[in-house]
Amino acid sequence: MEFSLSRTEVNRFEYRSEATSTNDVLKEHATTDAAAWPDLSVVVTDNQTQGRGRLGRVWLAPTGKALAVSVLVRPRTAAGDSIPPNQLGWFPLLAGAAMTRAVRAVVEASMAPVEGVKEAEDPRHEVTLKWPNDVLIDGYKVCGILCELLPDASGIIIGAGLNLSLDEHDLPTLTSTSLLLVTRTAPDPDAVLAAYLHELIRLYRAFVGANGDALRSGLHAEVSALCGTLGADVRVELPGGTDLIGTGTSIDAEGRLNVVNQADGEERSVAAGDVTHLRY
């Protein structure tokens, strides 16, 4: 694939017909030849053989039906300083917001009025971000994000796996979906990827320009507006194996999810955990 649109968005772009893990490939390049792999370098494939998600989960998809894309960022403030460590938790949310906007644009385009079809008959779909790093369509996962810090802490690899044209038989779980299943049209990989990169870079530059301040950069407001976890009843599987059941209320200045505990009414801030939106 040429990815002519996507290439124009970033400083370096490499498409591979096959890769073990785009995160691993980009991490190796970024650490062994840093000068050749600057800020906003990208590796992408539609055939990832050893993909993984959060919590050590395996991420697999049939060849040609999903995109695995990894973006290297080397965030520095205008003064050349590193982003404060307590703000690094915003990067999965930043990427998730960018992908949510890109996917929403594809879905909304598919819902444009069709001649001879009444508007009420057109399917309406909700595209939201699930804290901290999944993109959902009508509650079904279409994309996951995995961010990893480089060993020398000089940069962050932002990995994303997007289900493009999987059909019902390809889906890895009962709670997954794809752009094809939602829009009933095979998406253009380059157009979707270019939209994601464009949104990611917009949010990234604003965040870095505000010295990693999510409030001042507008990132906090944008993520909060896109996040379907806010106001939802949730179960959070916390590190250590305990569960927190309650209602997601807000995201704090460091990207943590605030949850009002159903058991005692107390609000807790969650920095890491596996979130499930509960349906009663």
By DSSP bridging, strand 134-137 and strand 257-261 are unpaired
Segment 78-100 shows an average pLDDT of 93
Segment 3-23 shows an average pLDDT of 96
pLDDT > 80? residue 219: yes
pLDDT, tens only, 123-177:
689 999 999 999 999 999 999 999 999 999 999 999 999 999 999 998 888 899 9
Domains within the chain, CATH numbers bracketed: 4-226 (3.30.930.10), 233-277 (2.30.30.100)
Per-residue confidence band for 110, with pLDDT thresholds at 50, 70 and 90: confident
Q: How far is CA 65 from CA 20, 58, 209, in A?
A: 16, 16, 36
pLDDT, tens only, 40-70:
999 999 998 876 655 455 556 678 899 999 9
Q: Quick one: what percent of the chain has pLDDT higher than 70?
A: 91
Segment 95-103 shows an average pLDDT of 98
Residue 1: what pLDDT? Answer: 76
Q: Quick one: what percent of the chain has pLDDT higher than 90?
A: 79
By the 8 A CB rule, do 127 and 111 touch? no
Residue 111: what pLDDT? Answer: 79
139: Cβ–Cβ under 8 A, 6 or more apart, which residues? 126, 175, 277, 279
129: Cβ–Cβ under 8 A, 6 or more apart, which residues? 93, 96, 97, 100, 135, 136, 223, 226, 227, 228, 229
pLDDT, tens only, 228-279:
999 999 999 998 889 999 999 999 999 999 999 999 999 999 998 889 999 7
